Structure formats: C-alpha cells, structure tokens
Amino acid sequence: MEELLDREVAQRYASWFRALADPTRIQIAELLARRREPMSVGQITAAVGMAQSTVSQHLKILAEVRFVLVEPSGNANLYRINDKCLECFPTAADVVMGRPVASPGQTPC
C-alpha cells in the first residue's frame, strides 16, 4: 500500500488551493509577484478595478496562508508576494497531482 501525504502537509496545501480558488485573488497574487515590490491597497485596488473593501478582504485571505506578506508603513499597510510561496507552490501542485518531485518526502515551506 502506498504511503499517503502527511495529513498536516495536505491541510496546508488545501488551504493554499482554497486561497487561490478565486480569480481576483489569483490576479492579486500575480500582480504582486510580477511587481516584486510592496504595494498599497489603493494601488492594488486601482490595478484590479474593484472596491477597496473587496480587495482588502482578498488580501486578508491571501495573508492568512502567507501567500502575501503585510508590512506596516506609517498609517497604512503594504503588501508583497511571499517569495517562499512562489518557490513552494509548484512543488505542492506536483505532489497533489502525483508528479515526481526533486526530493520525495520533503515538505516545502
């Protein structure tokens, strides 16, 4: 019988996939990954063309799973992509899809 993915790792991966299960969150993550610099909610709102409260809610969800990191800046927060997640997410997708990964048994991030 084949060994299952560790339950804790599976839960972490599931939270990542849930966080990315919305097209707006994918757009926000892609924008931050492409920009590679912290952005304010206002800048992100202008880029995605949605209400600031909606963007803030999406950023909260992305921050909960640490896809996005929050940096206080004066009275506001700046948001940036978490580079570690960018490195780990493809491996997580490969593991879930049953594709071989470079170091079997290792759990990224």
* Percent of the chain topping pLDDT 70: 78
CATH number reported for the structural domain that contains residue 64 in this entry: 1.10.10.10
Task: Tell me the C-alpha distance between 36 and 7, whole Å.
Answer: 32
Which stretch of DSSP H or E encloses residue 30? helix 23-35
Task: Tell me the C-alpha distance between 87 and 102, whole Å.
Answer: 13
Asked whether residue 101 is assigned to any structural domain, the reply reads no
Rounded to two decimals, what is the model's pTM? 0.78
* pLDDT over threshold 90, residue 56: yes
Asked whether residue 66 is assigned to any structural domain, the reply reads yes
How confident is the model over 64-81, as pLDDT tens digits? 999 899 999 889 899 999
- pLDDT for position 53: 95
Structural domain harbouring 35: 7-92
Give, as one character, the DSSP assignment of residue 5: P
Question: Which residue type is seen at 54?
Answer: T
> What tokens were used for 3?
């060994």
75 versus 91: which is more confidently predicted?
Answer: 75
Task: Give the chain's domain count.
Answer: 1
85 versus 68: which is more confidently predicted?
Answer: 68
* pLDDT over threshold 80, residue 22: yes
Strands 76-81 and 68-73: antiparallel
Asked whether residue 29 is assigned to any structural domain, the reply reads yes
Stretch among 7-11, 61-65, 93-97 having the lowest mean pLDDT:
93-97
Asked whether residue 73 is assigned to any structural domain, the reply reads yes
Asked whether residue 100 is assigned to any structural domain, the reply reads no
Asked whether residue 61 is assigned to any structural domain, the reply reads yes
**Which residues sit opposite 68 in a β-bridge?**
81
Task: Tell me the C-alpha distance between 34 and 81, whole Å.
Answer: 9
Asked whether residue 41 is assigned to any structural domain, the reply reads yes
